[in-house]
Structure 1
Amino acid sequence: MAEDPRHAPSRAPQPDATTVLVQHRVPADLGGEVIRIVGYRENGHALAHAVEMAPLAVPLIVGFGEPFRIALGRAPTADERYNSFTSGLYPGFVLIDSTGRAECIQIDFTPLGARRFFGIPMCEIARRMVQLDELGDPDITDLRDRLGEHGDWRHRFAAVETLLRRRLAAAAPRHGATAWAYQRILASHGTVRIGALARSLDCSRKHLNQHFGEEIGIGPKATARMVRFNRALTIARRAETADWAQIAADCGYADQAHLVREFRAFSGASPSALPSFP
């Protein structure tokens, strides 16, 4: 909730619900690690639904209002409530329900930026929802408490910037080989062969997978699939009428059936359902 943002607005807003999004410009010195900082407030009373499709961002959400109901790959239950939370990369779709009374600040990190900010192996938070209390991180707990005390966005954003700068300045540098491989996957739109990456780095695929688990959260193959899907999704959204066979060819899928399978895996629906998504 880069190009590939996570957020929590309704896919089908109810007539009595209004949503306020307050975008905060990411400072230049944080740009390589942070994708987006945004404030979010709902002023409604009707249940709303949203879907996130294979986002290539790691969000940190600090909530001040009603919690969201969130689940990975399926509809959330009434007990799956999250107010302040994070979630690492997940090669699939995320379903979000809101009562219309949520309020939060969201910081979207690049996967490599999240590794530096959190200071833990990204595989520990990948493929799952994580309440902030589970992290046991005093800095993050303190940020949540301080943001809750501020009633205006300006002071909230200032507190966020202060923590981001302090943590990232003290963080370990990026793992060079993994960062290079990740950038190659992005540059190739997910079509580079993982074996070729391993050979370029003079390491085994197993070794590369281990490093990706620690630094990115998921393996290089799953990462490449997400990147390729996001490219296909971007092309389709920009087209007046999506030519799925051509998109499949342009994005390196074996055929249109391959694209459809990937689309279902990452969005929970077929490509024909694209107009109903945000």
Structure 2
Amino acid sequence: MATDSEEPYPSRFEMVRRLPGPQLQGAVTDMCGYRETISGHFRSVEYASLTVPLVISFAEPFAIGLGKNPGGNDRFASFAAGLFAGPVMIESFGGACCVQINFTPLGARRFFGQPMSELTDRMVGLDDVLGLEGNTLRERLGDARDWSARFAIAESFVAARLASTDPMQAEIGWAYDSIIASGGRTRVATLAGRLGWSRKHLARKFSDAVGVGPKTLSRIVRFNRALGLSRQDNSDWADIAADCGYADQAHLVREFRDLAGETPTAIAAG
């Protein structure tokens, strides 16, 4: 059953999170309600991940830069964002309020009904991804009395769209799950061979279904596994590099710079 939980974040904002109900399992990882409660200029960095967010805003936009600090024209209110193999810099200014629905890549492909390559490395406005349905959803969410009501509206909307689409092609689902289960260590040539596809054909299928090729997906999976291991007690970077399939510790450092914008030790110190 889906549950709401309010987390102990600093008082400058409130965040309420809901886990997906059974109808959204495998397509949505969670939904969040976010509202800033004091004025200011706030900055955060999100590392490369497998989350495809749909942000529906009722107030001020965010400033967002892909792999860079956002500029004056990088303002986004309600939008969807595809996968990006790098850090995302986010700034807000004390007046943000939104619902964020976090999709898996394959869930996003079904929900949006368009190739995920059209969202890769981009923020795309709500009108362009959902049309009039998106505007109606935004109005309903904005008029709702509280976060619980907003989550119920959002979950019903997502479930209805998913029910009207076909399941993901079994071969792509298998290849995607294989990369996740291996921690990004499965060779692309091995996946293609088991499917009886060429590597080029597999890459095209992944571009449509996920937004990035299997090699890039594997990089993101390995990075996030290494990041998770680094947060355990007595973690050692050389051991983590070997465990996650990096050629050596220097390789791991380069990947962290590319996908997080920081070195492993800088992240650990933070």
TM-score normalised per structure 2:
0.93
How far apart, CA to CA, are the structure 2 residues paired with 1:274 and 1:242? 13
**Corresponding residue SS for 2:64:** strand
Q: Which residue of 2 aligns with 1:152?
A: 146
Alignment map for 1:246-261 (pairs within 5 Å): 246-261=239-254
Mapped contact 1:43–1:101 kept (Cα < 8 A): yes
**Runs (5+) with no aligned partner, structure 1:** 1-8
Higher mean C-alpha displacement, 152-161 vs 100-109: 152-161
In the alignment, which residue of structure 1 is the partner of 2:186?
192
Q: 2:170 aligns with which of 160, 169, 176?
A: 176
CA deviations 1:85-109 (Å, max 9, x no partner) are 1111111110001112211101000
Measured in 2, the distance between the counterparts of 1:75 and 1:44 equals 23
SS class of match (2:83): coil
1:178 CA drift (Å): 0.9
Question: Post-superposition shift, 1:133?
Answer: 2.1
Are the equivalent residues in 1 in contact too, given 2:53–2:80 (CA < 8 A)? yes
After TM superposition, the structure 1 = structure 2 runs for residues 175-254 of structure 1, keeping only pairs within 5 Å, are 175-239=169-233, 241-254=234-247
The residue identity in structure 2 corresponding to 1:249 is A
Aligned residue number for residue 98 of structure 1: 92
Partner deviation per Cα, 1:178-229 (whole Å, 9 max, x = no partner):
1110000000000000000000000000000000000001000000000000
Structure 2 unaligned segments of length 5 or more: list them.
Answer: 1-7
2:108 alignment partner in structure 1: 114
Instruction: Measure the CA separation in 2 of the matches of 1:25 and 1:93.
Output: 25
Give the number of equivalent residue pairs.
263
Greater than 3 Å deviation, 4+ residue runs: none
The answer to whether the Cα contact below 8 Å between 2:81 and 2:120 also exists between their aligned partners in 1 is: yes
> How far, CA to CA, are the matches of 1:207 and 1:216 in structure 2?
14
Match of 2:267 in 1: 274
Cα drift, residue 136 of structure 1:
5.2
Aligned residue identity for 2:70: P
Mapped contact 1:175–1:215 kept (Cα < 8 A): no
Taking only the aligned residue pairs, the percentage that are identical comes to: 48
- Residues 149 and 75 of structure 1, relative CA distance in 2, 3 Å threshold: same
Question: How far apart, in 2, do the equivalents of 1:256 and 1:231 lie?
Answer: 15
Root mean square deviation of aligned Cα: 1.6
Which segment drifts farther, 61-70 or 146-155?
A: 146-155
Distance 2:47 2:19 in 1: 24
Partner of residue 165, structure 1: 159
Residue aligned with 2:231, SS: helix
Q: Counterpart in 2 of 1:81?
A: 75
Q: 2: CA distance between counterparts of 1:81 and 1:195?
A: 40
- In 1, distance between residues paired with 2:229 and 2:130? 41
1:40-94: CA deviations, max 9, x gaps? 1111211111111111110001011211100110000122111111111111110
SS across alignment from 1:66? coil
Cα distance change on mapping 1:126 and 1:184 into 2, 3 Å: same
Matching residue of 1:265: 258
Q: TM-score by structure 1 length?
A: 0.91
CA distance in 2, matches of 1:275, 1:40: 26
The one-letter code sitting in structure 2 at the alignment partner of 1:257 is: A
Q: Which residue of 1 aligns with 2:32?
A: 38
CA distance in 1, matches of 2:19, 2:52: 18
Shift of 1:275: 3.5
Name 1:61's counterpart in structure 2.
55
For the Cα contact (< 8 Å) 2:80–2:129, is it kept in 1? no
CA shift in 2, pair 1:34/1:136, >3 Å: closer
Question: SS of 2:206's equivalent?
Answer: helix
SS of the residue 1:137 aligns to: helix
Q: Name whichever of 18-27 and 182-191 sits farther off.
A: 18-27
